[in-house]
Amino acid sequence: MPTFSTVFNFFGVALLLALTPGPDNLFVLVQSMQRGVRVGLAVVLGLCLGLLVHTSAVALGLAAVLATLPLAFSLLQIAGAVYLAWLAWQALRPRPAGSASATAIGPTTSTAASPTALARMVGRGLLMNLSNPKVLLFFLAFLPQFTHPAQGSIASQVLWLGLVFMLATLLVFGAIACFSGYFATLLQRHAHAQSWLDKLAGLVFLALALRLLSSELALPE
């Protein structure tokens, strides 16, 4: 297990990284603004589960194996971009006037917090995180820097650090979800606010898809 000083320093770095604008926190921001706090927190939970998968892959050595297969990472990158493009299409596609399902990617805010809908949003957050190969590469390069052979098993240290990173992510992304979700409740009092939120969401998803598709992966040598 890492020492307290290592965990403390790592937690500070993780907080700063979580605060840095990126695809995941933008995803939380947009989804929370569209459908409210509970939906945003469900997305955050899904993203954190994705981080747990990435951490386990690094601890078990699977990430190092995948890093030697550039084709696998390229396919994952394309899949992630396609998924984001699909979300953008769902948000931007025309809907019949007066339709009961006129929100962007699913039910209205009042029904989006049903157990089934929340579970779906957890899955969406998980898929969003897992479909971005840069997260796995980042963990592969970042987590081992805070491990020390004298402190025990490297794999167990990586798992501990991954949990600390998840905690930092949960705190920061949870705060984003709460703030933007509250902001959404204010906007939704206006007649056309939801339509504008949907358009904003679609543009954000499309930009993230293009960014992921056009970015180059720096595979470890």
Report the sign of the C-alpha dihedral through residues 58, 61, 62, 68, in that order: positive
Residue 137 CA to residue 58 CA, distance in Å, equals 9
What is the per-residue DSSP string for 57-71?
A: HHHHTHHHHHTT-HH
SS3 content of the chain, % helix, strand, coil (to 5): 75, 0, 25
Per-residue pLDDT of the chain (221 residues; tens, 9 = 90+): 788 888 999 999 999 988 887 888 888 988 888 788 899 999 999 999 999 999 998 888 876 666 666 676 677 667 777 877 877 787 777 655 544 344 444 444 444 568 888 999 999 899 888 887 778 878 888 888 888 888 888 888 899 999 999 999 999 999 999 988 777 666 666 656 666 666 776 777 787 777 767 765 554 44
